[in-house]
Amino acid sequence: MSDLILPRRELIARAGGLVAAAGTMPLLSGCDAINDAPAVRKILSMGEEMNRASQRALTDRGALAREYSRADLSPVFRSNGTKLPPGAAYAAHAASGFVDWRLKVTGLVARPLSLSKADIRAMPQRTQITRHDCVEGWSAIGQWTGPGLGRILAAAGVRDGARYIVFRCADRIGGDLYYESCDMVDALHPQTIMAWALNGALLPIANGAPLRLRIERQLGYKHAKYVQGIEAVASLDGIGAGKGGYWEDRIDYEWYAGI
């Protein structure tokens, strides 16, 4: 989640015109023509699949992210992306202390759920002090509290065909709702929680109040904020542009953000 991201430039070259483009344009735009060629983009995306497949195959799928002590907390836990979701609806929720906020659990589940703040806090809670790594390069350590996503999914009874969990958010960036998704390995990981507290206090609005995802083995933009819907799906096709997340759809961030 970043406000540094610029809208993606239009593709300026096709693979076929690449050689001509590189020959006639100045060197720099030639380099960018290579960057934008569809064939090159296909090759570049192989790196993501190699990273995902090798991390899944060669490392322990249940390995825990390092947990820190209170002495390690960042003095200030900075926020990024949306700092205040626009619109009257969110403002009303915030004004009422999110009493009417619901987390809806839908899709390939046996029992669709609509969980209130009280429901979520009545579940077994997990508190963890972890490091948040932004794709931009910075890190901050914070303490998060919330129920495990696995418990919520178990309560809803995820059906066999579900392969991904999609997180629907209340914040719009450029008019479109933010969303993210992950596979079942990370969804059912013990440190994947729906957090409602940061550093022992209610989650601030800038950090995703009233509920945000913590998915500790991936980069910051995967940690969806202002979550109001969890959906179990068999495929990411047909959701957004089909790449599994807001930034993935728009600027080609990796869907697998474990590196």
Which residue ranges make up the site for another protein (CB under 8 A)?
2, 4-6, 8-9, 26, 28-29, 31-32, 35-36, 41, 43-48, 50-51, 55, 58-60, 63-66, 68, 72, 74-76, 78, 131, 133-141, 216-219, 247, 251-254, 257-259
* Least spacing, CB of residue 63 vs another protein, in Å: 4
* Least spacing, CB of residue 115 vs another protein, in Å: 28
* Least spacing, CB of residue 252 vs another protein, in Å: 5
Closest CA to 139 of 224, 198, 72, 74: 74
Closest CA to 113 of 257, 228, 247, 240: 228
* Least spacing, CB of residue 34 vs another protein, in Å: 9
Strands 197-198 and 139-147: antiparallel
* Least spacing, CB of residue 55 vs another protein, in Å: 5
Place of tokens 């993501």: 48
Rounded to an integer, what distance in angstroms lies between the CA atom of residue 250 and that of residue 253?
A: 8
* Least spacing, CB of residue 245 vs another protein, in Å: 12
Contact 223, 146 (CB under 8 A): no
Q: Give the neighbor-by-neighbor strand order of the sheet with 227-233.
A: 113-115, 103-107, 227-233, 164-173, 176-183
| Residue with smaller CB distance to another protein, 36 or 231 | 36
Contact 164, 224 (CB under 8 A): no
CA torsion, points 186, 214, 192, 71, in degrees to nearest 10?
A: 120
| Residue with smaller CB distance to another protein, 8 or 159 | 8
Rounded to an integer, what distance in angstroms lies between the CA atom of residue 115 and that of residue 47?
A: 39
| Residue with smaller CB distance to another protein, 92 or 251 | 251
| Residue with smaller CB distance to another protein, 19 or 50 | 50
| Residue with smaller CB distance to another protein, 6 or 201 | 6
| Residue with smaller CB distance to another protein, 29 or 116 | 29
